[in-house]
A and B are shown apart, each in its own frame.
Chain A
Amino acid sequence: MDKGTLYRVADIAHVHLESREIEQISKDMDFLLEYFDKLSQVDTESVLPTVCPINDKNVLRDDEVWDSLPIDEVLKNAPDKHGRFFRVPRIIEE
C-alpha cells in the first residue's frame, strides 16, 4: 500500500502513525489486501451475506448486576486523567 493511502486510512481511523512504523505497516497491509483478494475470488453467488455465525437463536444474558472495575483499573490505560475522570482535549462545541 502506498504511503499516501496509508496515511489517509490512518487519518480516517484516527490512528496516529510514527514515520518509523510506516514501512512495516505498509508491508502488513499489502499482505492483508492480498488475502482479501484471494477471498474475493471465491464464488459466493448463491451464499447469503453472513453477519454473525449464529443466525437462528438468541444469545442473551440475564439482567443481573456484576461488579464493575475499581477506579484505578478503569483509568489504567488512559493517556490523561483528572480525579475520577478521563481527560481529553476540549471538543469545540458543535
Chain B
Amino acid sequence: MNYETIVGLEVHVELSTKTKIFCGCSTEFSKEPNSHCCPICLGMPGTIPLMNKSVVEYATKAGLALNCQIAEFSRFDRKKYFYPDLPKGYQISQYYIPLARNGYVEIDSNGKKKRIGIRIMHMEEDAGKLVHEEGSSYSLVDLDRAGVPLIEIVSEPDMRSGEEAWQYLNNLKTILQYIEVSDCKIEEGSMRCDINISLRPEGSNEFGTKVEVKNLGSFRAVKRAIEYEEKRQREILESGGSIVQETRRWDEDRGITIFMRGKVDNRYSPEPNLAPVIMRKDWKDEISARIPELPGAKKERFIKEYGLPEYDASIITASKVLSNFYEECVKHYHDPKVVSNWLMVELLSILNETGQGIEDLKFTPKQFCDMLAMIDKGTISGKIAKDVFREMFATGKSPEAIVEEKGLVQISDEAELESIAKRVMEANPKSVEDYKNGKKKALGFLVGQVMKETKGKANPQMINAIFSRLLDQ
C-alpha cells in the first residue's frame, strides 16, 4: 500500500525586543548566568507580570506578515507543569484566545505555489536553561532566558514531505527576518521547531495517529527526522502494527528518533494578573504600515523588473540585506544579470568562506559597480577582477586604488601584445606546429603562456585575435 505523509510544524521564535515579555530585564545574551533576573522573571510570589508593548507590536507584525487574522481581543493563560527551568510552575502563554489565526506561508511544490496554513500564532514566555553536569546528580539552572518573548506558530497539517517542511521553515524564517522581529537562528536557539507527523493510506481523508518529534537542531535535521519517521511508521503499518501517540526525540548523531514520553495533557487556566490585549484597527493599521515588501513579492518583482531567472531571484531575495545591496548595485550598473552572477558566485562564496555577513561588507555597491565598469572598459580582465574583488572585500579599498597599487591594469596595447605573442611562439615551436597540423587545442596552451608571462594581465580577446592572425598566416 502507498502511504501519504502528513506533517505539521510547531515553531517557536524568540522576538528581538530589548526586554523580556513581562519585566524590564534585558534579553541580550549574557556572558554570566543569572545576570538578567528580577523578582518577576524569577517567579517570586506576589509579583505581577507587566506586559511589554513591543512584544504585542512584534507579534502582530508577524501575524500580519503571515497573512493571519488578528484578534481584536486576546488573552493570556497559564500552562501548568513542573520543571526546574520554569520558576513559577506555569508558563504564561495564550491558549484559549490567541492573538492570530488562519494565516499561511507560500512554498513551491513541484513548480506550483502551495499554501501551508497557519492555524494559530500566539505570544508566550520562554523558559530558563538547564545545564547538566556530566556525571553529577545535579542540574544547574540559568534563568536569563526565562521570560524572553516568544511567538509560537502552529501550522496546519499541510506538508507532505521533508522537502516541503524544509521550504516552509526557510520561507517562514526569511519573512520573520525581513520584518525584523527575530534573527531566527535555529543553531543558537532563537528559532525552534517540533514536528507532528503521521501517515495515512493514499486517497484517505482521515488522519492517522500522529507522533511528535522534538530536539531538532537545524532545518536539515527537520528534513532528516521527517524522512526517518516516514520510514519507521510505514514499516510498523506494513507489518500490521499501529502507531502509538507519543513524543520522540531526534538523535542527530545516530540519525534516528527515540521514544521520549507518552501523551501528556497540559492543564491550562486563565491568567488573572494580565489585562487582555486589545488590538484596535488604528493600532493594527499603524503596525501594518511598518511591514516592508516581503520576500515573495520582492522575488516576483525582481523577475519582472530586472529580468532575473527565478533561481537568481530566489537566492538574492532570501536575505533582506543582500536584496537591498543588489538593488543599490542595479542603480549604478546597466546589466542586472551580471550583478546577480557576481553576488551569487563571488560574494556568497567569500561570505561562506569567511563566515561574515553582508552587513559587514567594507565596500559599497557603488565601488562594486565601478569594478564591473572597469571590466567593461577593458581596464582589467574578468579574471583579474576576481582578485580585485577579494582585495576590496578584505580591505574596503576602491577598485581603482587596488588596480593602481598592484599594477593590475590589463595590457591592451596591440604592439606590446604582439611582441609577447611572437616570443611565446618562438619558445614553443612544438605547439605552433601542433596547431598548424590541426590541433586547435594548442592555442589554449599558447594563450596560457602569455597569461603566465603577463601575470594574467593580457587582454584575452586581443591575445586570441593576435594568435589567430599570426598562426593562420
A residues whose Cβ falls under 8 Å from a Cβ of B: 14, 51-52, 54-66, 68-69, 71, 74-75, 80, 82-91, 93-94
What is the distance, in angstroms, from A34's C-beta to the closest C-beta of chain B?
Answer: 22
Would you call A60 and B75 a contact (CB within 8 A)? no
What is the distance, in angstroms, from A22's C-beta to the closest C-beta of chain B?
Answer: 22
B residues whose Cβ falls under 8 Å from a Cβ of A: 17-19, 23-26, 32-39, 42, 50-56, 75, 82-84, 89, 130-132, 136-143, 247, 249, 260-261, 270-278
**A contact residues around B138 at 8 Å (CB):** 80, 82, 87-90
Give the complex CA separation of A17 and B373 in angstroms: 81
Query: Known: A64-B18, A65-B18, A85-B142. Contact between A51 and B50, CB under 8 A?
Result: no
Given A59-B51, A74-B37, A85-B34, 14 extra CB contacts under 8 A: A51-B271, A52-B271, A55-B276, A57-B275, A58-B278, A60-B52, A65-B25, A68-B26, A69-B42, A74-B34, A82-B138, A85-B141, A86-B141, A93-B132
Query: Known: A65-B26, A84-B32. Contact between A51 and B141, CB under 8 A?
Result: no
**A contact residues around B136 at 8 Å (CB):** 90
Would you call A52 and B276 a contact (CB within 8 A)? yes
6 shortest A-B CB distances, which residue pairs?
A: A66-B24, A85-B140, A63-B54, A86-B141, A60-B53, A54-B275
**B contact residues around A83 at 8 Å (CB):** 33, 140
Would you call A63 and B17 a contact (CB within 8 A)? yes
Q: List 23 A-B contacts (CB under 8 A).
A: A14-B82, A51-B272, A52-B271, A52-B274, A57-B275, A57-B278, A58-B56, A61-B51, A64-B19, A68-B25, A68-B36, A80-B138, A84-B32, A85-B131, A85-B141, A86-B84, A86-B140, A86-B143, A89-B139, A90-B132, A91-B139, A93-B132, A94-B247
**A contact residues around B130 at 8 Å (CB):** 91
Would you call A60 and B25 a contact (CB within 8 A)? no
Q: How many A-B residue pairs have CB under 8 A?
A: 127
What is the distance, in angstroms, from A47's C-beta to the closest C-beta of chain B?
Answer: 15
Give the complex CA separation of A94 and B38 in angstroms: 29
Report which residue of B34, B50, B54, B139 has the largest number of chain A beta carbons within 10 angstroms of its beta carbon: B34
Would you call A14 and B132 a contact (CB within 8 A)? no
Give the complex CA separation of A27 and B273 in angstroms: 28
When C-beta atoms are compared, the residue in chain A nearest to B23 turns out to be: A66
Give the complex CA separation of A68 and B39 in angstroms: 9
What is the distance, in angstroms, from A60's C-beta to the closest C-beta of chain B?
Answer: 4
**A contact residues around B51 at 8 Å (CB):** 58-61
Give the complex CA separation of A63 and B25 in angstroms: 10
Give the complex CA separation of A62 and B270 in angstroms: 24
**A contact residues around B53 at 8 Å (CB):** 58, 60-63
**A contact residues around B33 at 8 Å (CB):** 83-85
Would you call B24 and A65 a contact (CB within 8 A)? yes
What is the distance, in angstroms, from A31's C-beta to the closest C-beta of chain B?
Answer: 21
Give the complex CA separation of A84 and B31 in angstroms: 11
Would you call A66 and B143 a contact (CB within 8 A)? no
Would you call B34 and A14 a contact (CB within 8 A)? no
**A contact residues around B23 at 8 Å (CB):** 66
Would you call A94 and B89 a contact (CB within 8 A)? no
Give the complex CA separation of A37 and B106 in angstroms: 54
Would you call A63 and B19 a contact (CB within 8 A)? yes
Would you call B140 and A87 a contact (CB within 8 A)? yes
Give the complex CA separation of A68 and B52 in angstroms: 16
When C-beta atoms are compared, the residue in chain B nearest to A51 turns out to be: B270
Query: Known: A82-B140, A84-B34, A85-B131. Contact between A63 and B275, CB under 8 A?
Result: no
